Structure formats: C-alpha cells, structure tokens
Structure 1
Amino acid sequence: MTKTAEAFRTISEVADELEVPKHVLRFWEGRFPQIRPMKRGGGRRYYRPEDMSLLRGICHLLHAEGYTIKGVQKILREQGVDTVKRFGADPQAVPAPTAVAELPPPPAKQRAGKKGAAPRGAPTKAEIRERLLAAIAELEACRGILLGKPTETAARRAPVKARRSARA
C-alpha cells in the first residue's frame, strides 16, 4: 500500500524510501535543525511532506553530489531550505541550471596528509595485486605470531633485537 504525497510517514517508511538507515535520519535531525518531525506518544516520529522534500534534498546533496554535512549546513544557512528542497522535489529530474549555479562546488576528495595533491585515478590490476599480496603476507606473519611460530620476518628481526638489547 502506497501513501499519497500529503501523508505523514514514519521513520521506517522514510528510511526505506531514501534508502538510508533509521539511525542516519535521527543523526540528521541533530545536525539539521530544519528537520522537525512531529513526535507522538512514545516518541514516535511522523515526517510531514515538507520534511520529506527537505530530507530528499539533503540525501541527494550528501550522497549524489558529494557534499559534506558542513557543506549542506552552509547551503541551508546561506541559501535557505527552499534551495535544498528543490533538489528533493523530483529525484529523477536534473536540477535547474540556476540552482546548480547557486551552489558552491562540492569539496574535492583528497588523501589525508596530501594537501593540494591531485586525486589519483583507479589503481591498475598490477597495483591491486601487489597490495593484496602484501596484505596476505602481513596476515600470514600475524598468524605466525599468534600461533607462536617464527616467521621469515621474525627471523630477520631477531638479530636486530639482539643488537639493540646489547646496546642497552
């Protein structure tokens, strides 16, 4: 049974429609004071149609456009709720060019500690293979340590540890 657009929705219905977990909706309520669902007996939340369009817009900006929570908060603060609601009005429709022009560009994703570095492309198969082999070797070494079996790397480190203890 589907509800009309004007019907109030529970948190479960909203979570299913937006394809996000319920705890994310509760988190967004704390981060975005503009989201104010009605609360009835037992603290049950009922989202109004206005809340739904705002949530759709927030969800679109966060997941499809790549904005951070702070970025969406800034858009809400500077440009208002209606700008964000426009993104949630029809998820299939492309936003009007004026709406896109009003929004600041989404932040570029960078690796931690590498400011200004250009984002890398997808790793090649050889790089993926190398990383996997390194991870397997590390896991095998960890397994050896847990089982009390000396490993190749442990055998190489033993002389180093002996030299260090001799210095002390």
Structure 2
Amino acid sequence: MTYSIGEAEELTGIKSHILRYWEEVIPGFAPKKDLGGRRIYTERDIDLILRLKYLINERKFTIEGARDEILRETMNYDSKAEVLDSIRQIRSELSQMYMIIRKYRK
C-alpha cells in the first residue's frame, strides 16, 4: 500500500514540511513521486519515519545522531530481517484497516 504525504503525516504525526526536510538529510529516505510530482510513501518509508520519530522525540537524538543510528541499524538488518519483515507486514495491515475505517467514518 502507498500513502500520500497527507496520509503519511496523519499516520505518523510528523508534519509534511519535516518529512520534506528529512528527505534532504537522511540517506535512503526519498519517497517516489507520481507523474504529478506528488510524493508516494511506501510501508518502508512509514517505518523509517516512525523510527526517526522515536529516535528524535523519545531517545532525544539530534537529526544527525538519528541518521547515524539508522545507518548502523541498516548494517545489522540482515540478522533481524525475518522479524522485521513480520512487523512490517503487521503494520501494513493495521495501516490499511485504519485508512478503511477513516474512509467510512467521513
């Protein structure tokens, strides 16, 4: 499933201007764009946004420190790939349910 920048903001609680800034300073964080130039966020992008949010808001990392931590974690990904893929799948299903409920509540 993919999300617009507004949906990504709603799911993660991170404002769109911050998401655009993170694109500039976080390696590997570059959502694709559609033909109209609008950003399209994937589940992987949402995972990364939530991880950055946790590192910055909860663990009190600077943006540079969070970037470095993300890079370190990426290097260790292979050993945890199966568990992380399961978590990503569950989060995807929950996000889809949230968007369906939101659609019908309007």
TM-score range, shorter chain: 0.5 to 0.7
**Is the CA contact (8 Å cut-off) linking 2:32 and 2:39 kept in structure 1?**
yes
Matched-pair identity in %: 26
Structure 1 residue 8 displacement after superposition: 0.2
Please give the TM-score of this superposition, normalised by the length of structure 2.
0.66
Asked if residue 9 in structure 1 is aligned to residue 11 in structure 2, the reply is: no
Tell me the matched-pair count: 80
Which residues of structure 2 form unaligned runs of 5+?
89-106
Structure 1 residue 20 displacement after superposition: 1.8
Root mean square deviation, CA, Å: 2.1
Tell me the residue number matched to 2:92.
Answer: none
Asked if residue 19 in structure 1 is aligned to residue 13 in structure 2, the reply is: yes
Equivalent runs, 1:15-164 vs 2, <5 Å:
15-80=9-74, 82=77
Larger Rg: 1
Structure 1 residue 42 displacement after superposition: 2.2
Please give the TM-score of this superposition, normalised by the length of structure 1.
0.43
Q: Please state whether the residue corresponding to 1:80 is helix, strand or coil.
A: helix
- Spell out structure 1 runs of 4+ moving beyond 2 A: 76-79
Structure 1 residue 73 displacement after superposition: 1.5
Structure 1 residue 21 displacement after superposition: 1.2
2:20 and 2:69 map into 1 onto residues whose CA distance is 20
Which residues of structure 1 form unaligned runs of 5+?
1-6, 91-168
Structure 1 residue 12 displacement after superposition: 0.4
Q: Please state whether the residue corresponding to 2:36 is helix, strand or coil.
A: helix
Whose RCO is larger (CA < 8 A, sep 6+)? 2
1:53 and 1:77 map into 2 onto residues whose CA distance is 14
Q: Please state whether the residue corresponding to 2:9 is helix, strand or coil.
A: helix
Structure 1 residue 76 displacement after superposition: 2.3
1:49 and 1:68 map into 2 onto residues whose CA distance is 24
1:20 and 1:55 map into 2 onto residues whose CA distance is 8
Q: Which has the higher helix share?
A: 2
Tell me the residue number matched to 1:141.
Answer: none
User: What's the CA shift string for 1:74-101, capped at 9, x where partnerless?
Assistant: 1123332748xx6xx58xxxxxxxxxxx
